[in-house]
Amino acid sequence: MVRWAGFPWVAAIFAALASIILVFSGLEPALAVAVFVVWAGSLWLSAQKPPAARPASPAPGFDETQMRDLFELSQAPVIVTKRDRVTVANAAARRLFGAHMVGQDIRVTLRHPRAVALIDKAGSSGATIPGLVRRRDVWRINRKVLPGGLAVFEFVNRTAEADISRAHTDFVANASHELRTPLASIIGYVETLQDDAGGVDAELRERFLSTIQREAQRLQALVDDLMSLSRIEAEKHDVPREVIDFSSLAERAARDAAGAAHAHRLTLAIDRGVHVCGDRQQLEQMVRNLIDNAFKYGSAHTPVEVRVHVADKMRSALIVRDRGEGIAAEHLPHLTRRFYRTDPGRSRASGGTGLGLAIVKHIVERHRGKLDIASTQGDGTMVTVLLPAPSTDG
């Protein structure tokens, strides 16, 4: 609809008079009319106003039910407080702190001094707090203050990151120590031979050289195991698909690990036709490590039993058992840690690097299997490895 309200009529009258004057001045009437139309049209357009914008309807109030629905399925624990009293706690928060926290002061829920200090701090903020729920836990708390006395607390679990960082630090420290020990021995004996080359008799020199060779071999074995562990960890997400005749592989690896020195102690009970999906080289290394451990730490006069069989429709089993002194129960949970030894002196004397079972654990994990170590002091140790059988889906 054409809007004439507010049209500048006075200016239009002046425009008409100006056009008439132009005609009397000798301008063509049609041209004068055209000038008037353009002038009047511009005046009319300038007088038009855009339609007034409708005011936006106010957003509905964000009540507790909506906030509860918003955060309920979040994997991170989230707590909403009103004047420091818990009004909303999602499922993850209730699992972490208990459902009883709803309605109580958040300080009572958290209790940790640094968390309470964060609550009392003005404005939005955050803090990383160790030991919030359990002694070794590490949590990042992010706090956002909202109008109306509301505050949203988000809890981010940083325990895994802290564990990885701690494990990396421990690994570097342990590896450095393990490498330093044989290197120091080698350097010491070499310097002795160099300083007193003419005064060392043949027998003593031979003993020194034997020690240097033994320590160098130990150093080489340690480096080889570290490189092997690194390769296995790099491939841990790559699930092996090759179908392996595990019966033949385990028998060959067991005989190689026993060698001529321990062949008389090796007892095999291997069912034929046991197949698994796996990496041939890593599975052979796994069998060798387990049997090598059994010969090192088992009694010198008792057999090492190796059994391979089908455990069930989904898994095949490898069992390695020695009849040695056994392992105390407090050591069992730590046996697969890198460089962990129940008897460091005996392990180093036998040439162990402290990485054998760590390598076995990572190989089993890469193959999506299960490792179990059971031991009774005075009765020996039994290690069971369960590996997935090849899929029959084609």
List the catalytic residues: 177
The two three-digit tokens of residue 215, written as one number: 């320590």
In the chain, what's the furthest Cα-to-Cα distance? 139
The two three-digit tokens of residue 365, written as one number: 């994990």
**Which pairs count as long-range contacts for 364-371, CB under 8 Å and 24+ apart, including other chains?**
364/286, 365/236, 366/232, 366/235, 366/236, 366/238, 366/239, 366/240, 366/279, 366/282, 367/239, 367/240, 367/276, 367/277, 367/278, 367/279, 367/282, 367/283, 368/239, 369/315, 370/315, 371/336
Q: Decide if 185 contacts 216 (C-beta within 8 A).
A: no
Q: Hey, is 140 helix, strand or coil?
A: strand
The two three-digit tokens of residue 142, written as one number: 């992010």
- The amino acid present at 109, given as its one-letter code, is T
Q: Decide if 321 contacts 308 (C-beta within 8 A).
A: no
Nearest residue to 250 (alpha-carbon basis) of 234, 266, 262, 229:
266
Q: Distance (Å, rounded) from C-alpha 166 to C-alpha 364? A: 23
Q: Decide if 143 contacts 153 (C-beta within 8 A).
A: yes
Nearest residue to 185 (alpha-carbon basis) of 204, 150, 159, 209:
209
Q: Decide if 29 contacts 37 (C-beta within 8 A).
A: no
The two three-digit tokens of residue 285, written as one number: 């290394």
Distances (CA, A) of 328 to 190, 319, 334, 359, 382: 40, 20, 11, 22, 13
Distances (CA, A) of 48 to 5, 264, 297, 346, 358: 9, 108, 99, 99, 83
Neighbours of 202 (CB within 10 A): 7
